[in-house]
Structure 1
């Protein structure tokens, strides 16, 4: 049984399939979207996770994360992902080659105060035969954004 995150990735890949079909002038948008979603369900889901400490308060860090998701994709609705016992923001960003691989990124607050925030950042992406390391790249981009945003 696929997880909510795997279903979300499949839907996002389906949107890319439909868009590609539309751009090519093909009227088979529904078939392209369905084929892309089916293929996504068959591909393995790669996961990458790190814990990092950001030298900033919780509110500021969460604001920066929302800005990152807005600039690189979108914030996921709570109903699109499985619940978490920790405070969490989830987004869908492009990653991999030309940032075309939809990747889910969860940023969970483990510990935080006014001066420091410890995050667990987890990402999930579908990978085919050619490994793009999309999940790892998305996490690293978010970490770079958080470290750079204070400059």
Structure 2
């Protein structure tokens, strides 16, 4: 798994540039994306479910919202992490890397940290912040039902 948020976001933006056509679109977009600032936002919440159920729930929410990346499983420490690229910003065209970190705090409780990171251009869309809030709301809402 690539751990560097900047690399993952630059590659995702490069893929969008390549799909748009044009000479060197993917390489140019990747080059530019590496130099953009990130908008990052984190939200913490607690789910009233065991770690395994919370991890499955997070996987389902992220799979529905975007494209899942490799999941990190550290059962010995009682922690897990799931990542996905989710569309954010205007028209959901800006790739946002969502990382959901889960930790068991009891037999029926898990803490969840939702981190959203997105590259920002001249027009500040706060895509990382808005998408992290959206995913956190989905995790909380669907856990209640």
Mark yes or no: TM-score above 0.5.
yes
Aligned to 1:96: 89
Residue-pair matches, total: 137
Task: Check if 1:49 corresponds to 2:73.
Answer: no
What is the TM-score normalised by the length of structure 2? Answer: 0.84
Q: Following the alignment from structure 2 to structure 1, what is the Cα–Cα distance between the partners of residues 105 and 92? A: 31
Deviation at 1:78, TM superposition (A): 5.7
Q: How does 1:5-24 map onto structure 2 within 5 Å?
A: 5-21=5-21
Question: Runs of 5+ in structure 1 lacking a partner?
Answer: 80-84
User: What is the SS of the residue equivalent to 2:49?
Assistant: coil
Q: How does 1:1-151 map onto structure 2 within 5 Å?
A: 4-21=4-21, 26=22, 28=23, 31-77=24-70, 86-150=79-143, 151=145
Native 8 Å contact 2:49 2:110 kept in 1: yes
Q: Following the alignment from structure 2 to structure 1, what is the Cα–Cα distance between the partners of residues 70 and 48? A: 27
Q: 1 or 2, which has the higher strand percentage? A: 2
List 4+ stretches of structure 1 deviating above 4 A: none
Aligned to 1:82: none
Question: Runs of 5+ in structure 2 lacking a partner?
Answer: none
The two structures, once aligned, show a CA RMSD in angstroms of 2.0
Deviation at 1:91, TM superposition (A): 1.4
Native 8 Å contact 2:69 2:84 kept in 1: yes
